[in-house]
Amino acid sequence: MKITLAQLNYHIGNFELNKTLICDAIKMAKEEKADLIIFSELCISGYPPLDLLDRQDFITNCQDAVRDISKECKGITAIVGSPTLNRDAGGKKLFNSALVLSEGEIVFSVNKALLPTYDIFDEYRYFEPGKDFRIFTLGGLRLALTICEDLWDEQSFDNEFEKQRIYTISPMDQLAKHKPDLIINISASPFSYSKIEMKADIFRKKARKHGIPLVTVNQTGANTELIFDGASKIINRKGDLIAQLPFFEESVETFSVSDIMEGNTVRNPEKKSSVELIHKALITGIRDYFRKTGLSGCILGLSGGLDSALVLCLAAEALGNKHVRALLMPSRYSSEHSVTDAVSLAKNIDVSYDIINIERPFTAFEKDLKPFFKGMKRDVTEENIQARIRAVYLMAFSNKFGCILLNTSNKSEAAVGYGTLYGDMAGGLSVIGDVYKTDAYKLAYYINRERENIPLNILNKPPSAELRPDQLDSDSLPDYKILDSILYQYIEQQKPPEKISGEGIDRQTVEKVIGMINCNEYKRYQAPPVLRISSKSFGDGRRMPLVAKY
Of 43, 62, 73, 148, catalytic: 148
Q: What burial letters (b/e) apply to 316-345, b meaning 16+ CB within 10 Å?
A: bbbbebebbbbbbbbbebbeeebbebbbbb
Is 403 assigned a catalytic role? Answer: no
How many helical (H) and strand (E) elements, i.e. helices and strands, does the chain have?
16, 19
Pick the closest to residue 353 from 395, 386, 324, 318 (CA basis).
324
Q: How many C-alpha atoms does 420 have within 13 Å on its Cβ side?
A: 18
Active site residue 16: no
Three-state SS annotation for 142-201: EEEEEEHHHHCCCCCCCCCCCCCCCCCCCHHHHHHCCCCCEEEEEECCECCCCCHHHHHH
CB atoms within 10 A of CB 542: 16
Q: Which of 41, 149, 466, 492 is catalytic?
A: 41
Pairing of strands 241-244, 233-235: antiparallel
The CA–CA distances, whole Å, from 484 to 439, 491, 500 equal 9, 10, 12
Contact call for residues 329 and 305 (beta carbons, < 8 A): no
Whole-angstrom distance, CA of residue 161 vs CA of residue 148? 24
Please state, in angstroms and rounded to a whole number, the distance separating the CA atoms of residues 324 and 145: 45
Q: Find out whether the peptide bond into 462 is cis, omega within 30 degrees of 0.
A: no
Nearest to 410 by CA among 520, 307, 277: 307
Within 10 angstroms of residue 363's Cβ, the number of other Cβ atoms is 11
Q: Which of 2, 19, 112, 280 is catalytic?
A: 112
Closest listed residue to residue 277, CA positions, set 195, 356, 203: 195
**Is 23 known to be catalytic?**
no
Element of type H or E holding 369? helix 359-369
Backbone angles phi, psi at 432, to 5 degrees: -115, 25
Pairing mode of beta strands 94-102, 105-111: antiparallel
Secondary element (H or E) of residue 430: strand 429-430
Q: Give the span between the Cα atoms of 216 and 40, in whole angstroms.
A: 9
**Nearest-angstrom CA–CA distance, 211 and 190:** 27
Active site residues: 41, 112, 148
